[in-house]
Amino acid sequence: MADIKVTETPIEGLVVIEPSVFGDDRGYFMETYNQEVFKDHGLDMEFIQDNESKSKKGVLRGLHFQKEFPQGKLVRVTKGSVWDVGVDLRKDSPTYGQWYGVELSDDNKKMFYIPEGFAHGFLVLSDEAVFNYKCTNLYHPEFDGGIRWNDPDVNVKWPEIDTEILLSDKDQNQPFLEDIKEELNF
């Protein structure tokens, strides 16, 4: 059983996780999830759904959350690199509306845990990225929620890239946090 390094962020609940990687001239091996090891580090969540997305450079997905049946997400990149962001939407949190970001890549093998009560999004920095999610709850499309990726009150500092930002119609038209704060149940 391999160990992990868990780094707390300035926002309670958001953590960066680095697995032990065992490599030689043939390649590498790493354990990406072990329930006992995670519990030993205080990460006692249960995952019930896995997702994967593939995106090209400049794609920005987010900032998403579930209005009901919130999902915690353990995310990592298996190809390429992204700038990954969690935004605290917990009304009673001292860090409400604040964000934290980390680069996730197939090179650094870092993972990011975004708990329930957070919005989540990422920007693809490489030519292509394959992004993996382990989720603590099932996705319910009828409770899909989001906030604008460039909300001036949240003020995420997205990295500059040498191509345009590519957004879905949904993400281009997400509301600002100020406009939905009374609807949040976290």
Question: Strand ranges (DSSP E) for 94-139?
Answer: 99-105, 111-114, 118-124, 128-135
Helix (H) or strand (E) holding 16: strand 15-19
- With a CB cutoff of 8 Å and minimum separation 6, the contacts of 102 are 9, 16, 83, 84, 110, 112
CA distance 60 to 56: 9
Is 64 an active-site residue?
yes
Q: How far apart are the first and last CA of the chain?
A: 35
Listed residue (75, 83, 81) closest to 112, CA to CA: 75
Q: Is 41 a catalytic residue?
A: no
Q: Which tokens is 22 given?
A: 């065992």
Catalytic residue among 41, 133, 139, 140: 133
Decide: 59 and 166 in contact? Cβ < 8 Å: yes
- Name the pairing type of β-strands 15-19 and 27-30: unpaired
Catalytic residue among 28, 64, 96, 140: 64
CB atoms within 10 A of CB 158: 16
Q: Could you give the residue numbers annotated as active site? A: 64, 133
